């Protein structure tokens, strides 16, 4: 499917447009395993990370002892969405330090009008616009109670973040 060629026909009867849509995903907060001063942040926002990779080094000070360097590792593979602390700042035990999206696992939640929702079927093709991109997707689940469809991307998008707005056009085949 050539999404770019098809998208301008959004007013055509062969398309159903979502009333609203957002990108969603599995977000993981990486927290400080001990209190201490952030010494090094080894990743930047947008960086891919593997499970177990060192993300942060902090200096933990126990009463009357020299500082001990503690590595905080990625609990899962994914991509860094947000860095909450910088080198030199203090991290308290349990405080969020980084936010990851797990394995770039993102999807779309799209709400439709009643008439359009009744025409939706699992497996239908769609075009999702978000972050300046048009991406191919398919309907993977339907929630009749709130007229919402869940769409999975055909190819894994690396630049989309949970919470981004999206537009959705579903092919009415």
Lowest-pLDDT range of 63-72, 85-94, 126-135, 144-153: 63-72
Task: Please check whether residue 126 is in contact with residue 1, taking contact to mean a CB–CB distance below 8 angstroms.
Answer: no
**1 by DSSP, 3-state: which?**
coil
Task: Please check whether residue 77 is in contact with residue 51, taking contact to mean a CB–CB distance below 8 angstroms.
Answer: yes
Task: Give residue 65's pLDDT.
Answer: 72
Q: How confident is the model at residue 122 (pLDDT cuts 50, 70, 90)?
A: very high
d(CA 84, CA 58): 14
d(CA 8, CA 10): 5
């Amino acid at each position: 499917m050539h999404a770019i060629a098809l998208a301008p026909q959004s007013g055509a009867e062969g398309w159903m447009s979502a009333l609203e849509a957002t990108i969603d995903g599995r977000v993981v907060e990486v927290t400080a395993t001990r209190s201490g001063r952030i010494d090094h942040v080894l990743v930047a926002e947008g960086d891919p990370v593997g499970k177990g990779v060192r993300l942060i080094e902090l200096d933990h000070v126990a009463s009357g002892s020299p500082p001990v360097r503690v590595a905080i590792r990625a609990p899962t593979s994914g991509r860094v969405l947000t860095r909450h602390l910088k080198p030199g700042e203090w991290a308290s035990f349990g405080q969020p330090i980084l936010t990851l999206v797990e394995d770039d696992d993102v999807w779309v939640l799209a709400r439709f009008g009643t008439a359009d929702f009744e025409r939706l079927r699992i497996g239908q093709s769609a075009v999702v616009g978000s972050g300046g991109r048009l991406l191919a997707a398919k309907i993977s689940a339907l929630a009749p109670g709130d007229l919402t469809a869940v769409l999975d991307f055909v190819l894994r998008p690396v630049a989309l973040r949970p919470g981004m707005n999206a537009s959705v056009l579903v092919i009415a085949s």
